[in-house]
Amino acid sequence: MMDWSDRHCRYFFRQLTRHARLYTEMITTGALIHGDVPRHLRFHPDEEPVALQLGGSEPEDLAKCARLGEQWGYDEININCGCPSERVQRGAFGACLMAEPVLVADCVKAMQDAVSIPVTVKHRLGIDRMEDYDFARGFVETLARAGCTIFIVHARNAWLQGLSPKDNREVPPLRYADVHRLKREFPELTIVINGGLADWAGVEQELECVDGVMLGRVAYHDPYVLAQADARLYASTAPAPTRRAVVEAMVAYARAEVAQGSPVRTIARHMIGLYHGQPGARGWRRRLSDPAVLAQNRPEMLLEAMEAAEDARRVVESTAVETRAAA
């Protein structure tokens, strides 16, 4: 989720679900040790619970950054061992770390010694085209011996050569059965599955075999799917938020952020999928990505786009009623 799940995105997601845990985009240890810490770690209290995902391979650096994350109020520190991008590989972290489980175990131990909050690992089932369950099992077993108890498993391999990051999310085959097997063989561990899940039927089916589900692309491209999360997964009896309520909350947020110097486009870009599959979705997307509209830097543009989308919905519903009456 690099360049996706920034603080504006997470605040938007939080308007849709009050209980799901949100994760930051991967932040490298170098960015925190040598860069602007507040810019990378600042988040709104309403985002909680929120986990900080780190990218790095030096135990001492990861420990320092984990400590920063705890000081800034994060609820979990997650190390990324699943990103396959060439840029990440050049930094010697991400998915290529799966080839060095002992090093990852040292990193986990260093972070655990530095903080009191959970330290978790996100990883793939393997690297390149070697689809060997024992590779994944050995990786998990080594980290479990170091004290890691929570694993978020993207149920594909990461091909380190020949595929773009986008293709790496789609081309390597999904192997849900191998993730289920990890849970059976390590029942004491918390195993969370990730990859390819696009609807609640699939999520609920997976929860019969594992402890949790992480949603990525579907939550970004069709974010309103998260509006069902609290009722389906957390036994909430509160009504799901309407799209109108979400937009109104985001307008208030955008006003405060624009007043502090954030361009409204940095907020609007995460909301483009809110009307996915609904009448008026095309107009909503067009307005939220129109350079001329965004250049005005007006939070009220979100309200105007919403009213246009709602008008389109009412036209479609009215036409459907008239068609039924004529029949």
List the CATH number of the domain containing 163.
Answer: 3.20.20.70
* pLDDT at position 89 over 60: no
How far apart are the C-alpha atoms of 108 and 207, rounded to whole Å? 26
The catalytic residue among 9, 65, 83, 96 is 83
- Asked, for residue 66, whether it belongs to a domain, the answer is yes
| pLDDT at residue 91 greater than cutoff 90 | no
- In tens, the pLDDT along 92-118 reads 677 889 999 999 999 999 999 999 999
If asked whether residues 28 and 118 sit together in one domain, one would say yes
- Mean pLDDT over 135-164 rounds to 92
In a domain, 236, yes or no: no
**For position 75, what pLDDT does the model report?**
98
Number of Cβ within 10 Å of residue 260's Cβ equals 6
Instruction: Provide the 3-class DSSP secondary structure of residue 189.
Output: coil
Tens-digit pLDDT profile for residues 13-45: 999 999 999 999 999 999 999 999 999 999 999
**Which of 196, 230, 264 represents a domain boundary (last residue)?**
230
What pLDDT, on the 0 to 100 scale, is given for residue 159?
84
Does 12 share its domain with 94? yes
Residue 226 shares a structural domain with residue 250: no
Q: Are residues 200 and 83 in the same domain?
A: yes
* Per-residue pLDDT tens over the stretch 246-272: 999 999 999 999 999 999 999 999 999
Do residues 205 and 314 both lie within one domain? no
Domain stop point among 230, 259, 282: 230
Domain count, the chain: 2
CATH number, residue 298 = 1.20.120.1460
**Residue 78 covered by a domain:** yes
Is residue 1 assigned to a domain? no
Same structural domain, 128 and 252: no
Domain boundary among 203, 230, 257: 230
Question: Does residue 60 fall inside a structural domain?
Answer: yes
Handedness of CA 280, 285, 288, 290 (dihedral sign): negative
Whether 235 is in a domain gets the answer: no
pTM confidence score: 0.92
Are 41 and 133 found together in one domain? yes
Distant-in-sequence, close-in-space partners of 250: CB < 8 Å, separation ≥ 6: 11, 12, 15, 267, 271, 302
Active site residue 81: no
Q: Which residues contact 306 (CB under 8 A, 6 or more apart)?
A: 243, 244, 247, 284
151 and 300 co-located in one domain? no
Rg, Å, the chain Cα set: 21
Q: 113 and 73 share a domain?
A: yes
Instruction: Determine the Cα–Cα distance for residues 65 and 34; give it in Å rounded to an integer.
Output: 11
pLDDT of residue 148: 97
Residue 2 lies in a domain: no
Spatial distance between the Cα atoms of 327 and 316, rounded to a whole number of angstroms: 17
Which domain, by its residues, includes 31? 7-230
Considering the domain architecture, whether residues 37 and 80 belong to the same structural domain is answered as yes
Whether residues 275 and 163 share a domain: the answer is no
**Separation CA 124–CA 169 (nearest Å):** 11
Is 293 domain-assigned?
Answer: yes
CA distance linking residue 298 with residue 289, whole number of Å: 13
With cut-offs at 50, 70 and 90, classify the pLDDT of residue 162: confident
Residue type present at position 249: A
